[in-house]
Amino acid sequence: MERLLALDQALFLALNARDWPVWLDAFFVFITRDEPLRVPLIALWLLILLVCGPRWRLRAIWLLPLVALSDWSASQLLKDAFARPRPCHDSLAGLRLLVDCGPGFSFPSSHAANMGAVGTLPALGARGWRRRFAVLALPLLVAYSRVHVGVHYPLDVLGGWLWGSALALSIEWLGRRSPRLRLSAAAARAQAAASDTGT
């Protein structure tokens, strides 16, 4: 475990403690904050509810309890259980801290857990690797931004992402086995078939 943590710290310094272009620092600072992305993400969520079909509307509805669960479990349960200090609390030589360090422990990253959940559940419903990559691109960047701005180690981000993804996969598994959800999907297919026959 000590060797793994040492490698994690070395990887963190290799990614964080170097002179990156100013525009790249500004980009990661922008997307790592909750406030700038909150309005466009809510607008996108509402657009899915109003415009997309029943399959995507169902996933959008599931996202609300899923993110609440991932955020609560990562912040309140796992961080206290592992009690790993943040890199910005470790006073590492060469660390570049671009945002407020924040209180609390480091493992896992709550941002990464939430992004893992937000990215994985819609990606499971997308068809084709290009669409899945498009769905996952922004959540992956937001998760990685926590390393770039100096508040989480890479292992924190990986652990958080895997936790959020595992919760999303659990929701997907439960949803596929729910009689009510299966009936809803069947009804949507029957309705689509009926409308095609009518035209």
Query: pLDDT digit string (tens) for 24-42?
Result: 999 999 989 877 777 777 7
Q: Taking each helix axis from N to C terminus, what angle separates 54-72 and 179-198, rounded to the nearest 10 degrees? A: 150
Tally of domains within the chain: 1
Would 7 be classed as within a structural domain? Answer: no
Peptide bond into 54 cis (omega under 30): no
User: Helix and strand tally (H, E) in the chain?
Assistant: 9, 0
pLDDT at 111 over 70: yes
For residues 171-181, give the mean pLDDT: 69
Residue 92 lies in a domain: yes
Query: Per the confidence metrics, is the pTM higher than 0.95?
Result: no
Distance CA 45, CA 142 (A): 18
What pLDDT score was predicted for residue 178? 64
Domain contains 5: no
Distance of CA 2 to the CA centre of its chain: 27
Q: Residues 7-18: what's their mean pLDDT?
A: 91
Residues 6+ away with beta carbon under 8 Å from 33: 99
195 lies in some domain: no
pLDDT digits (tens, 9 = 90+) for 96-107: 999 988 888 889
- 84: containing domain: 21-49+56-185
Please determine, for residue 19, whether its predicted confidence score (pLDDT) is greater than 80: yes
Residues 6+ apart with CB under 8 A from 159: 107, 108, 109, 112
In this predicted structure, what is the pLDDT of residue 199? 43
